[in-house]
């Protein structure tokens, strides 16, 4: 009697669990089908923009305006029922509304891209809860407000781009906690303030782009700690002071563009140590003195831009020997 009762109870639990799981899966597809303006009873896992796990949960969702059957769509707050989602890519100017804070509940998310949309409002601080996120791109939207310091909690991030929005405020120093970052782009956003000295902790960084902002102050000496950096773009800001000699220690650097600032002082001979450098743009600053002959050691250099400064003297013979495009 007892064993039969236990068996029946076990079967009931299994059946209820299956029903609950199937109900959750149906809710997931229903949500995504509404998002993509297709029949709510349609099996969304058949869509080529959607990937589902073996048990039917949605793990990947790529949606764009071109793919939608409706002209406009938005991110519903109920998106947090997609608890197995790892990859979310939403793009196109048909995406309107704001980024719901509920997006921060998708803690299995590894890839998040919101690109070229009409999203407005601020970046929710709840995105700092996405502790498994490896890729975050919030690019070419209409977002306002500041970059939340909570993004510094995303310790798995290898790629972070926040660009071409209408943000204000400064770059949060907490981003210096993201020591796995290889690519960091915060550009075309009108940010103010200085480069946080904590950026010196980003020792795995290979690409850093802070161009087209309103950043001020001297270029941080901590940049010299970024020994793996290959591309550095700081142009069109309001940096003052001299070029830090520590830049001359970033030996893997291939591109250095610090043009269109208010830098003064000399062109440092230490830049001649950057033997892999292919592109160097120091134009449109207030640099003085002569062109150091040490730049002639840059045998891989293809472009050298020095125009619109207050330089004196002639072009050193060591530089004339290089096969480069030179604008003085």
Low-confidence ranges of the chain (pLDDT < 70): 1-25, 37-42, 66-71, 328
Report which of 34, 38, 28 is spatially closest to residue 60, judged by C-alpha positions.
28
Which run of H or E residues covers position 280? strand 279-281
> What pLDDT, on a 0 to 100 scale, did the predictor assign at position 63?
86
> What pLDDT, on a 0 to 100 scale, did the predictor assign at position 142?
96
Classify 307 in phi/psi space as left (phi over 0), alpha (psi -120 to 50) or beta: beta
Report which of 255, 270, 268, 263 is spatially closest to residue 304, judged by C-alpha positions.
255
In the structure, how many helices (H) and strands (E) does the chain have? Answer: 2, 20
Q: Just give the CATH number of 184-328.
A: 3.80.10.10
Report which of 119, 106, 129, 116 is spatially closest to residue 58, judged by C-alpha positions.
106
Q: How many CB atoms lie within 10 A of CB 33?
A: 18
| pLDDT tens readout for residues 120-135 | 999 999 999 999 999 9
| pLDDT tens readout for residues 250-306 | 999 999 999 999 999 999 999 999 999 999 999 999 999 999 999 999 999 999 999
> What pLDDT, on a 0 to 100 scale, did the predictor assign at position 8?
43
CA geometry: angle at 239 spanning 238 and 241, to 5°? 140
Q: Which long-range contacts (CB under 8 A, 24 or more apart) does 161-164 make?
A: 161/136, 161/137, 161/185, 161/186, 162/123, 162/136, 162/138, 162/186, 162/189, 163/138, 163/139, 163/187, 163/188, 163/189, 163/209, 164/139, 164/140, 164/188, 164/189
Q: Where are the domains of the chain?
A: 184-328
CA-based max dimension of the chain: 104
Which run of H or E residues covers position 328? none
């Amino acid at each position: 009697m007892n064993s039969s009762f236990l068996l029946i109870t076990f079967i009931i639990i299994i059946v209820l669990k299956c029903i609950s799981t199937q109900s959750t899966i149906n809710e997931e597809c229903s949500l995504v089908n509404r998002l993509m303006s297709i029949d709510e009873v349609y099996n969304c896992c058949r869509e080529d923009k959607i990937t589902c796990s073996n048990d039917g949960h949605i793990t990947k969702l790529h949606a764009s305006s071109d793919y939608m059957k409706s002209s406009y769509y938005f991110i519903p707050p109920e998106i947090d029922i997609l608890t197995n989602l790892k990859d979310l890519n939403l793009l196109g100017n048909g995406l309107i509304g704001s980024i719901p804070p509920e997006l921060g509940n998708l803690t299995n998310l590894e890839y998040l891209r919101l690109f070229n949309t009409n999203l407005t409002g601020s970046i929710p601080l709840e995105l700092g809860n996405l502790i498994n996120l490896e890729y975050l791109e919030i690019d070419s939207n209409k977002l306002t407000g500041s970059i939340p310091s909570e993004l510094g909690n995303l310790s798995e991030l290898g790629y972070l781009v926040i660009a071409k929005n209408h943000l204000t405020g400064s770059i949060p120093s907490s981003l210096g906690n993201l020591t796995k970052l290889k690519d960091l782009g915060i550009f075309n956003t009108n940010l103010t303030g200085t480069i946080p000295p904590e950026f010196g902790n980003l020792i795995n960084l290979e690409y850093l782009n802070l161009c087209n902002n309103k950043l001020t102050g001297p270029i941080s000496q901590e940049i010299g700690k970024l020994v793996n950096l290959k591309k550095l773009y700081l142009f069109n800001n309001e940096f003052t002071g001299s070029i830090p000699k520590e830049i001359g220690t970033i030996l893997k650097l291939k591109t250095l563009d610090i043009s269109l600032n208010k830098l003064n002082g000399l062109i440092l001979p230490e830049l001649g140590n950057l033997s892999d450098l292919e592109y160097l743009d120091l134009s449109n600053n207030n640099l003085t003195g002569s062109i150091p002959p040490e730049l002639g050691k840059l045998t891989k250099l293809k472009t050298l831009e020095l125009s619109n400064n207050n330089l004196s003297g002639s072009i050193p013979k060591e530089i004339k020997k290089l096969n480069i495009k030179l604008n003085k």
